[in-house]
Amino acid sequence: MRKITIIGILFAFISSFAFSAEVNVFSARHYDSDIQLYEKFTSKTGIKVNVVSGKDKALQKRIMEEGADCVGDLYITADAGRLGAFQAKGMLQKAGWSKAIKNVVPSQFRSAQWTGIAKRARIIYYSPERVSANELNGMTYEGLADPKWKGRLVIRKSNNIYNQSLVASLVKNNGKNSTANWAKLVVANMARTPKGNDRAQIMAVAAGEADIAVANTYYHALMLSGKKGAEQQEAAKKVMPFFPNQQDRGTHMNISGAGMLKHAPNKSNAVKLVEFLLTAEAQNHIVNNTFEYPMISGVSANELVPGKDMSFKQDNKTSVKTYGAKQADALEVMLAAGWK
């Protein structure tokens, strides 16, 4: 009888210990495929992943209000600008990233507090019927200010984080004054007052409302996949991608990333989860479900994504840490230019 009792207590202890192996994720990514990845991680490691999903502002508000009582370990979101701004608010801590992470994530795509888990490119889409190859020859982001594009450009609002990060990179590379002049000329070239998401910009070019658009590559691939309906699929077929700045610093890159929250109670498990997200298995899962680019080498993007083999020149000169640091300057110059 005593033997049975001891075995029962031991079993209860082991069960309790197994249950305590967990990691808590606050995620602003809206992909069901991410949940599938967390389930794979749990099956491999026994570490349970608890996920709180929501929009960035709501998640950040909750994390800040809970303070030291917040049980979140990782904050996962899109755009280095968001991660950098949240870090500036003092809500992230040094993660102690392992060698396994540092060895596969280039230094320009991570900081001590957060790291990229997938890449994104913000490029130009154009109508091959109305834009000649000669017009695009040597095209850069700076070239969006060229008067030849007057009334021909569509792009999202100035409050869009992807635009803020793009402009932040221009501030870093060209200076604030030069970027302020650029922003005024870009506004003068707009075919309409900014509205809609990236897919709406591509739709506008397809419909003849504009000749060129600025959008992230995964939006176009999502449209081509048919997951957003036949109308958007057909629109996506009417535009072509162009990677700017191939003759100098390279195309603007951004990330989806994971940051270590200030009061993370399961820090080592959080690092293990990020390590898993950067394995070839997980990276293949990500790129074939979200149409992003892989963070690690040796993995190709989905067939529908332009530059799937990553042969285009990426901007490896500009650290994505710049996007948070220059975010306020970027928004200032856009608003001063009348960028709605």
- SS3 helix, strand, coil % of the chain, rounded to 5? 50, 15, 35
Helices and strands (H and E) in the chain: how many: 15, 9
As given in the structure block, the two tokens for residue 234 are: 């057909």
Confidence label for 13 from pLDDT (cuts 50, 70 and 90): very low
pTM for the predicted model, two decimal places = 0.91
Query: Contact 176/204 with Cβ under 8 angstroms?
Result: no
Confidence label for 17 from pLDDT (cuts 50, 70 and 90): very low
- Say what percent of the chain tops pLDDT 70: 94
**Cα dihedral value 248, 251, 252, 258, nearest 10:** -120
* Residue 242: partners with Cβ closer than 8 Å, 6 or more residues away: 123, 124, 125, 126, 136, 139
Domains of the chain: 2-119+254-299 (3.40.190.10), 120-252+324-336 (3.40.190.10)
Q: How far apart are CA 299 and CA 128, in angstroms?
A: 30
Query: Contact 240/126 with Cβ under 8 angstroms?
Result: yes
Query: Contact 41/47 with Cβ under 8 angstroms?
Result: yes
Lowest mean pLDDT across 30-34, 69-73, 89-93, 127-131:
30-34
How confident is the model over 58-83, as pLDDT tens digits?
Answer: 999 999 999 999 999 999 999 999 99
Confidence label for 4 from pLDDT (cuts 50, 70 and 90): very low
Query: Contact 169/323 with Cβ under 8 angstroms?
Result: yes
